[in-house]
Amino acid sequence: MMKTLIMVAFGGAIGASLRFLWGVGALRITGPTEFPVAIMAANVLGSFLMGAFVVLAAQRGLTHLSPLVMTGLLGGFTTFSAFSLETVTLLERGHFGMAGAYVALSVGLSIAGLFLGLWVMRGILL
């Protein structure tokens, strides 16, 4: 268990650092913009890499690296990749309604949760 935790932590540190550098690089390329291009691109890239790793790991016997790569590295780079994997897994199993509900609820409730956190903390701190 401790070895797995260390793998996740190490991968997460690398992924989060890469996400930061990705954002800095995108800002230098595009300049300031209202649309979150860097975040969207990181989510798309991270989702692509998640899909690619799932197949590679299954075919090459590398699933033992999943905590490092999937949970840590890609999770640190973008949590959207895990969300995408869960959605596709539901779709591939034929659970179309459940997949739609998962997407709608995940996005909607996450945004609502953020608004609630803002509202609570603004009430406490302001």
Q: Please check if 15 is assigned to a binding site.
A: no
Which two structure tokens, joined as six digits, stand for 107? Answer: 């996005």
Q: Please check if 75 is assigned to a binding site.
A: yes
Residues contacting 63, CB < 8 A, separation 6+: 57
* Rounded-to-integer distance, Cα 51 and Cα 16, Å: 19
Question: Residues 85-92: contacts with CB within 8 Å, 24+ apart?
Answer: 85/47, 85/50, 85/51, 85/54, 88/51
Binding residues for Na(+): 75, 78
Binding residues: 75, 78
